[in-house]
Amino acid sequence: MTAPPRVDGALTKAQRLERLAGALLLSSALGTSFLLPPRRPLPLDACLLHRLTGLPCPTCGLTRAVCLFAQGQWRDSLGMHPAGWLIFLLVLGAVLWTGAESVAARELCPRLKERLMAVLLGCGAVLSASGWVLRLARG
């Protein structure tokens, strides 16, 4: 017995389960951002650069900014890290996109997804770098 021919962009059962697992993992991370205390969401200082030098890294404050954004404190989120809102929306979009691909059993606009990811990650890098420079300049 031969397997049915694959439709272009069709996902195997393993790929569908992989996307579903990814969507569930990302949605649990996103859901946690609504529950964690936004001013101290992690029980320790996870930034090695900050612990060793006292200087913030480009992503310092990002977890707090995402939690603040999730809890509706948008101005505080922006003040904590300029890319917090972007990361929140990026994760939300990834949850929806990967979940939809799992349900549809096919890739949805793979070129568009690749381009969007590149643009959004580039914007996140620019926001992180500019926020980092401003934090360093303020001392």
5 pLDDT higher than 60: no
Strand partners, 10: 106
**DSSP one-letter string for 65-87:** HHHHHHTT-HHHHHHH-TTHHHH
Structure tokens at 117: 């990811």
Question: What value does the mean pLDDT take over residues 85-93?
Answer: 96
How crowded is residue 119: how many other Cβ atoms within 10 Å of its Cβ?
Answer: 10
Contact status, residue 32 vs residue 91, Cβ threshold 8 Å: no
Output the average pLDDT for the chain.
91
Q: What does the pLDDT look like over 37-58, one tens digit per residue?
A: 988 888 877 788 888 888 888 9
Domain ranges of the chain: 13-39+56-138
Q: How many residues does the chain have?
A: 139
Question: What value does the mean pLDDT take over residues 44-73?
Answer: 89
The reported pTM is 0.85
How crowded is residue 31: how many other Cβ atoms within 10 Å of its Cβ?
Answer: 11
